[in-house]
Amino acid sequence: MTPIIQTIRGFRDIYDKPYALMERVIQTATVVVKRYGFSGIELPLLEHTPVFKRSLGDTSDIVHKEMYSFLDRNNESLTLRPEGTAGLVRAFIANQMMQDLPKRFFYTGPMFRYDRPQKGRHRQFYQFGIECLGVDHPYADYECIKAAVDIFDELEITGYTIHLNTLGDQDSRARFNQAFQKFLQGHKNDLSNDSQMRLITNPLRILDSKDAGDQRIIATGPRLKDYLSDVSKLFFDQVCTYLTNAQVPFQLDDNLVRGLDYYGHTSFEFKHSDLGAQSAFGGGGRYNGLVQLMGGSDISGIGFGLGIDRLMLLLEPQPFIEKAPVIVIPFEDAQVGYALYIAYLLRLENIICEVSFKGKLAKDLKYAQKRNACHAVLIGPDEMAQESVTVKHMDGSCANQSVTAKQLVSVISSPKLP
């Protein structure tokens, strides 16, 4: 017996209800961000490895532990994209888009990270993201956060919190890093192993440590907000004012630094307690130096990424109602062609429709029940001869109706595709 080939650990097939939930998230998010002037872009799954090493930083967990990188037949190092921003900035520079600013893009699709698989966290996972390049005013930060809030509202997701922080400008972070590193040196032996390594490579990332001992030490140390320049303070205050005026609640979180090295100024995350210890299901921030770091001009950027898999977990408790189709049932092989014509007329009106021909009416009606069909359209020799159909209301609300093919669309009531 030939052995069954299973999916790779951390990868999975998505179909039925999960697929419908994913489709709902993507369609809803797309409609919302288009209202804000964002247009779609499709980015490659594979990039040259330096796209991510240069942008994410060698000390980030993604580059250090999680990237799927390999040598191709030309001995070039390629990487499956672990996130969307770096690839979009690469596309922005390579296609010389900097002459026509601002640029607002949204993207969606699979990302890849070698991490321990767990609920809502897979090695192939899916994100929806937006990026705004060329607007260095705080209103762009507000609009990114508000667009995400609008998506959650449309999806009827409640109970989440917005965590907000500022990392300040480069000079502010440099001053804080110097003071923070000096403070941590006095507690080096009490830090976790990961934080001891970050103490040398990237002290700022220690703020984000999940280790309880690290957090107790951090709580007694210098605060980033005390090292912010006047310009950084003013910028962040304006972001907070816009959110407050729009009645968008948020929590200030001094330890929020995000996991990527290109962030500066505004940083934010969306968290939900129903997701457990790994409560974040999206986030983003400002990355004013990234375009220049990757070989472009000094152009500002702001964006977010939402974890579609995690949003699906938040949607799962909601009742899932699949749109009920119309099932067209020919009695005999001779009526199949006419049934296909009837289905064509229904689909022209964007009505969800299937043809079912199992050779026995009882089996086809049983299938219609299984599919939770709203109507069955029955076609026998008489119906075909008279260019009519018999409509059976599956809920039993009224008796069968004999109507002409032209009358059919107005007689049935069925959910339509958007």
For 4-43, the pLDDT digits (tens) are 999 999 999 999 889 999 999 999 999 999 999 999 999 9
The 10 Å Cβ neighbour count of residue 332 is 13
In a domain, 198, yes or no: no
**Angle formed by the axes of helices 230-245 and 138-154, nearest 10°:** 30
Would the pLDDT of 261 be above 70? no
According to the model, what pLDDT value does residue 321 have? Answer: 65
What 8-state DSSP symbol labels residue 416? B
- The average pLDDT across 90-100 equals 94
What 8-state DSSP symbol labels residue 199? H
Residue 64's pLDDT band (boundaries 50, 70, 90)? low
In a domain, 345, yes or no: yes
Would the pLDDT of 260 be above 70? no
Report the percentage of the chain scoring pLDDT > 70: 94
* Residues 251, 161 share a domain: yes
Would the pLDDT of 203 be above 90? no
Rounded distance between C-alpha atoms, residue 208 and residue 273, angstroms:
18
* Residues 140, 41 share a domain: yes
CA angle 31, 36, 38 (to 5 degrees): 75
In a domain, 4, yes or no: no
379 close to 330: Cβ distance less than 8 angstroms: yes
Residue 58's pLDDT band (boundaries 50, 70, 90)? low
- The average pLDDT across 331-346 equals 95
Would the pLDDT of 414 be above 60? no
In a domain, 197, yes or no: no
In a domain, 7, yes or no: no
**pLDDT tens digit string along 130-181?**
999 999 999 999 999 999 999 999 999 999 999 999 999 888 888 888 888 8
Mean pLDDT lowest for which of 184-193, 198-207, 222-231?
A: 198-207
**Domain ends where: 282, 315, 348?**
315
- The average pLDDT across 356-370 equals 94
CA angle 259, 283, 314 (to 5 degrees): 120
Would the pLDDT of 2 be above 90? no
Helix (H) / strand (E) element for 390: namely strand 388-393
In a domain, 382, yes or no: yes
Helix (H) / strand (E) element for 381: namely helix 381-385
What is the average pLDDT score of the chain?
90
CATH code for the domain in which residue 109 is found = 3.30.930.10
Mean pLDDT lowest for which of 95-109, 129-143, 383-397?
A: 383-397
- The average pLDDT across 296-300 equals 92
- The average pLDDT across 345-362 equals 92
* Residues 247, 391 share a domain: no
Would the pLDDT of 103 be above 90? yes
**Domain ends where: 315, 336, 355?**
315
The model's pTM is: 0.87
According to the model, what pLDDT value does residue 323 have? Answer: 74
**Domain span at residue 304?**
16-169+229-315
In a domain, 199, yes or no: no
Local structure of 259: helix, strand or coil: coil
Rounded distance between C-alpha atoms, residue 145 and residue 304, angstroms:
8
* Residues 68, 113 share a domain: yes
* Residues 354, 301 share a domain: no
- The average pLDDT across 187-206 equals 81
The 10 Å Cβ neighbour count of residue 176 is 22
Local structure of 44: helix, strand or coil: coil
Local structure of 283: helix, strand or coil: strand
Report the percentage of the chain scoring pLDDT > 90: 65
Q: Which contacts qualify for 108-111: CB closer than 8 Å, 24 or more apart?
A: 108/26, 108/29, 108/30, 108/308, 109/42, 109/43, 109/45, 110/45, 111/81, 111/82, 111/83, 111/84
Residue 258's pLDDT band (boundaries 50, 70, 90)? low
According to the model, what pLDDT value does residue 259 have? Answer: 54
Mean pLDDT lowest for which of 59-63, 119-123, 295-299?
A: 59-63
Rounded distance between C-alpha atoms, residue 398 and residue 266, angstroms:
60
Rounded distance between C-alpha atoms, residue 277 and residue 212, angstroms:
13
In a domain, 400, yes or no: yes
Among 293, 299, 231, residue whose Cα is nearest residue 265:
231
* Residues 384, 281 share a domain: no
According to the model, what pLDDT value does residue 61 have? Answer: 63
* Residues 372, 233 share a domain: no
CATH code for the domain in which residue 407 is found = 3.40.50.800
* Residues 291, 164 share a domain: yes
Structural domain count of the chain: 2
According to the model, what pLDDT value does residue 263 have? Answer: 76
According to the model, what pLDDT value does residue 277 have? Answer: 80
Would the pLDDT of 368 be above 90? yes
C-alpha to C-alpha distances, 71 to 49, 57, 79, nearest whole angstrom: 10, 20, 9
* Residues 347, 377 share a domain: yes
What 8-state DSSP symbol labels residue 325? P
* Residues 393, 370 share a domain: yes
Would the pLDDT of 190 be above 90? no
According to the model, what pLDDT value does residue 405 have? Answer: 87
* Residues 242, 149 share a domain: yes
C-alpha to C-alpha distances, 344 to 134, 322, 337, 349, 374, nearest whole angstrom: 47, 21, 11, 9, 18
Would the pLDDT of 107 be above 90? yes
The edge-to-edge listing of strands for the beta sheet with 251-252 is 39-40, 103-112, 124-133, 301-307, 280-286, 266-272, 160-166, 251-252
162 close to 145: Cβ distance less than 8 angstroms: yes
**Domain ends where: 262, 290, 315?**
315
According to the model, what pLDDT value does residue 214 have? Answer: 84
Residue 324's pLDDT band (boundaries 50, 70, 90)? confident
* Residues 300, 245 share a domain: yes
